[in-house]
Amino acid sequence: MAKAKTQFICQNCGTVHSRWVGKCDGCGQWNTIVEEDPMGGIGSGPGKMPKKGRPVALTTLSGEIEEAPRIPTGLAELDRATGGGFVRGSAVLIGGDPGIGKSTLLMQAAAALSRNGHRVVYVSGEEAVAQVRLRAQRLNAADTDVLLAAETNVEDILATISEGKRPDLVIIDSIQTLWSDTADSAPGTVTQVRTGVQAMIRFAKQTGATMVLVGHVTKEGQIAGPRVVEHMVDAVLYFEGDRGHHYRILRTVKNRFGPTDEIGVFEMSDKGLREVANPSELFLGERNEKAPGAAVFAGMEGTRPVLVEVQALVAATALGTPRRAVVGWDSSRLAMILAVLEAHCGVRLGQHDVYLNVAGGYRITEPAADMAIASALVSSLAGVALPADCVYFGEISLSGAVRPVSHTAQRLKEAEKLGFSSAVLPTASPDLPKGNRKWGEIDSLPDLVARIAGS
């Protein structure tokens, strides 16, 4: 038999190389290439007869399509992020920095499901059973029927979860600890993780159990080693947050069975994660209304409006090259807004440092925040505080025009609910509610600058 051909796989991004190199072409990382057996020992044996499949016409399927059966966890914020609960027979990856609260969240979900009569197995490869139980006690989950197992070997795990009545939900904490006898590589390598995850997904498809896989993220923001895992699973959720703040956001980035723009918001307390039903109140909690450079952005996360404060500091620079530092917003988008301010509004920022921060450690991904960011920048530069009862939203184009964004009515409704009485928004915003409220309709960035500087 020919010698099995090995591959050289980058442990960070999964790029395959034909020979060992010091630096990965895929992600540019050094010393991440490891020699692995790509087949992982699986399927390389001789003598397997090919099985003929039977394709079905799409038309014959109509009529029998139904919603994927789901298991709601009862944690409203988690259910919102998954699109209504975990889908049976699916695999979900929950990624996040170490220590962010993944195990805590899943233990709470496990306890809630177990209380509703579901059979849940929690497989911990990172902590001993006693440690997991200790956490469960802290979370008031110790009195539930969640089954605990401390195992890392894929074959052992499969044997454990196949035993007895079939589970509704299996939690694997974490995929980085999985290792299989059938893969030759060292534990923690891409091949090992991929082989392990494949086996878990197969179990889920065969038994109809939901497989929840926990994955740690490296500093570069990728799930350590196997980004490949993202492609294999049905849904990918990231648990994010700032260590300095108590709240955590569960963000859906891939979902074969639901929306991908929903978030769940939680707050970490000494008794575990608490659901936050109204995130705006949280993000606006520490406002200083009289300071220049702060603007409230009326944003949307999926179907939910979220109000958050953006803070800018524009100050004369002491350095040759002015500094631009951004937290919670895209730095190239900031550069774009600064360029538009310079080119179309005569706002000179070449001799100024610019710092931008989204309050509470929150991260904004919507271009609709352009108007709030620009307002905060101009407010700081001019030393003029913006009206405290006003929210801002709208997208700014390179020409300096302000473009309408979606969900105008919802953004305004949320703002009103939280006591804001006016808004600066794009002219010709669709579905602008009628009434005698104070809208400041703006159609260009120079218009906005003139308005703030003139106030």
Contact letters (x/-) for Mg ion, 48-87, by CB under 5 A?
Answer: ----------------------------------------
Return the one option of ligand TYD, Mg ion, none that residue 66 interacts with (CB less than 5 to 8 A, by type): none
| 268 phi/psi in degrees, rounded to 5 | -85, 125
Q: Has 98 been labeled as part of a binding site?
A: yes
Q: Does 248 bind ligand TYD (CB under 6 A)?
A: no
CA 341/CA 364 separation, integer angstroms: 21
Q: Enumerate the β-bridge partners of residue 216.
A: 96
The footprint of Mg ion on residues 103-142 (CB under 5 A) is: 103
Q: Of 48 and 243, which CB lies nearer to Mg ion in the complex structure? A: 243
Q: Does 176 bind ligand TYD (CB under 6 A)?
A: no
Q: Has 99 been labeled as part of a binding site?
A: yes
CA 319/CA 377 separation, integer angstroms: 20
Cβ proximity of 442 and 448 under 8 Å:
yes
Q: What is the DSSP string of 95-153?
A: EE-TTSSHHHHHHHHHHHHHHTT--EEEEESSS-HHHHHHHHHHTT-TTS--EEE---B
The footprint of ligand TYD on residues 263-282 (CB under 6 A) is: 268, 270-272
Q: What region, left, alpha or beta, does residue 36 occupy, with left being phi > 0 and alpha being psi -120 to 50 degrees? A: beta
**Using the rule CB under 6 A, which residue among 9, 13, 93, 100 binds ligand TYD?**
100
Q: Of 100 and 200, which CB lies nearer to ligand TYD in the complex structure? A: 100
Q: Does 119 bind ligand TYD (CB under 6 A)?
A: no
| 199 phi/psi in degrees, rounded to 5 | -65, -40
Tally of CB atoms within 10 A around 333: 18
CA 189/CA 180 separation, integer angstroms: 11
Q: Does 430 bind ligand TYD (CB under 6 A)?
A: no
Only one of the segments 96-104, 293-301, 349-357, 435-443 lies at the binding site for ligand TYD (rule: CB under 6 A); that segment is 96-104
Handedness of CA 30, 33, 34, 40 (dihedral sign): positive
Give 274's contacts (C-beta < 8 A, 6+ positions apart): 266, 267, 268
The footprint of ligand TYD on residues 122-141 (CB under 6 A) is: 135, 138-139
Return the one option of ligand TYD, Mg ion, none that residue 100 interacts with (CB less than 5 to 8 A, by type): ligand TYD
Return the one option of ligand TYD, Mg ion, none that residue 192 interacts with (CB less than 5 to 8 A, by type): none
Q: Of 104 and 210, which CB lies nearer to ligand TYD in the complex structure? A: 104
Q: Has 444 been labeled as part of a binding site?
A: no
Cβ proximity of 273 and 369 under 8 Å:
no
**Using the rule CB under 6 A, which residue among 69, 98, 221, 285 binds ligand TYD?**
98
**Using the rule CB under 6 A, which residue among 80, 102, 118, 304 binds ligand TYD?**
102
Return the one option of ligand TYD, Mg ion, none that residue 138 interacts with (CB less than 5 to 8 A, by type): ligand TYD
| The pair of three-digit structure tokens given for residue 21, joined into one six-digit string | 């190199």
Residues near ligand TYD (CB under 6 A) are: 96, 98-104, 135, 138-139, 268, 270-272
Residues near Mg ion (CB under 5 A) are: 103
Binding site listing for ATP: 96-103
Binding site listing: 96-103
